[in-house]
Each structure stands twice: as C-alpha cells, then as structure tokens.
C-alpha cells in the first residue's frame, strides 16, 4: 500500500497575473518514515498524445519525511503553460500525478474580444482550474530492496559498480575485554 497519500493540493494566489510564480501548497500524509526524499516535479505537457513533449519545468526534493501529515509550498517561475502536471516520485517511481488546466485570458473584456496579435502579457490573467484536478495514482514499490537497485542500474549503469566492495565486517569488535589473551597483561600491571 502507498506510504504517501496526497491529501490536498491548494493553488495559491489564483487567479493571478500572468508573470507571477506558480504556488502550490501540497499537503500529504506519510504512513511510515521514508528512507529517502520524495521528488516533486512540475511538468508542462507539450502534447496530449505523447509524453515525449513533456518538459520538466521545475523539480524539488522534499525530505526528510517522517510518519505524519506534512505540508509545503512548491513555488516555480514557469510561465505560459496551458496544462500543468504535478507529479511525485519515490525512488524514481511515479506514484501520483495531478493535472490542472490553465486558462490564460485578458481581464479587459475588450481585449478578450479582440486579442492583440502580439500577446500583452501584462494584461493577461492566469487562472488555474483548481477545483477540478485530475488525479492518477500508481502502485509502486515503496521498500528498499533489489528492485530499486536494479532501477538505478538501468538508469545509470555507472552507479551499479560504484558500491565499495570492502565492506566485510570487521571482526573482533566485540568487547575487547572478552579476549582472554589480553587479560594477563592487565593483571600483571596490577601486581
């Protein structure tokens, strides 16, 4: 079951002037502490048909994430998009995708009727259709196990062999006093 569930994404300062940054206040709940950070991305969907044209506008790591309810504000300066996606990945696996339609229009009704050939950005207002997010959830593997290593390996083969091999446990780190051979010396000192 998913360790992280998104409770809400609030779009702040909406509607707002065209050039102002996007601000999403994201609250989520985590059922058990995560070993690694979550990665949140804002993606511009270039084409509805293909992910090929998706552009990552901004990404941010969020962590550490203990069990509980958390919130943060994801702010980015990306402008001029019509569809925006917020995705979250853990260990490179996407588990939630929230999509919003963005509507850019002139405040002035006259301009709205007869938009100028060259857009006048100062007059444009950006309105995110916050009341109607499209939420898709995916089942992913939340545990730290081999699958994850494999995933990393497929992404970047150079990482796979980067693990140090000299991690044999050091022996005899127990109580040194337990080694009988050490004792007579001590006792001689005492005498």
Minimum CB distance to other proteins smaller for 22 or for 106: 22
Cα distance between residue 50 and residue 44, in whole Å:
12
Minimum CB distance to other proteins smaller for 34 or for 124: 34
Footprint on residues 106-135 left by other proteins (CB under 8 A): 132-135
Task: Give the HSE-up count for residue 138: Cα atoms under 13 Å, Cβ half-sphere.
Answer: 14
Report long-range pairs for 31-35 (Cβ below 8 Å, ≥24 apart): 31/1, 31/2, 31/3, 31/4, 31/5, 31/67, 32/3, 32/67, 33/64, 33/65, 33/66, 33/67, 34/3, 34/4, 34/63, 34/64, 34/65, 34/90, 35/144
Residue that is written with structure tokens 């970047």 in the block: 156
Tell whether residue 183 is a contact of other proteins (CB under 8 A).
yes
Minimum CB distance to other proteins smaller for 122 or for 158: 158
Footprint on residues 141-170 left by other proteins (CB under 8 A): none
Tell whether residue 139 is a contact of other proteins (CB under 8 A).
yes
CB of 7 to other proteins, least distance (A): 6
Over the window 65 to 104, marking each residue x when it contacts other proteins by CB under 8 A and - when it does not, the resulting string is xxxxxxxxxxx----------------------x------
Query: Quick one: tokens of 150?
Result: 């494999």
Task: Give the HSE-up count for residue 65: Cα atoms under 13 Å, Cβ half-sphere.
Answer: 23
CB of 116 to other proteins, least distance (A): 34
Which residues of the shown chain bind other proteins in the complex (CB under 8 A)?
Answer: 1-2, 5-9, 23, 25, 27-29, 31-32, 37, 59-75, 98, 132-135, 139, 175, 177-178, 180, 183-184, 186-191
């Amino acid at each position: 079951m998913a360790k992280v569930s998104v409770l809400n994404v609030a779009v702040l300062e909406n509607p707002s002037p065209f050039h102002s940054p996007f601000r999403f206040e994201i609250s989520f709940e985590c059922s058990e502490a995560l070993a690694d950070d979550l990665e949140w991305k804002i993606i511009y969907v270039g084409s509805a048909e293909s992910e090929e044209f998706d552009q990552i506008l901004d990404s941010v790591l969020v962590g550490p994430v203990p069990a509980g309810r958390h919130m943060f504000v994801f702010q980015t300066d990306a402008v001029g998009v019509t569809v925006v996606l917020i995705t979250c990945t853990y260990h490179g696996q996407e588990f939630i995708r929230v999509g919003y339609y963005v509507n850019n229009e002139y405040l002035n009704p006259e301009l709205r009727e007869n938009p100028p050939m060259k857009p006048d950005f100062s007059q444009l207002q950006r309105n995110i259709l916050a009341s109607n997010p499209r939420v898709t959830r995916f089942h992913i593997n939340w545990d730290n196990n081999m699958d994850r290593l494999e995933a990393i390996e497929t992404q970047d083969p150079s990482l796979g062999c980067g693990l140090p091999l000299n991690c044999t446990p050091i022996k005899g780190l127990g109580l040194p006093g337990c080694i009988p051979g050490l004792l007579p010396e001590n006792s001689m000192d005492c005498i």
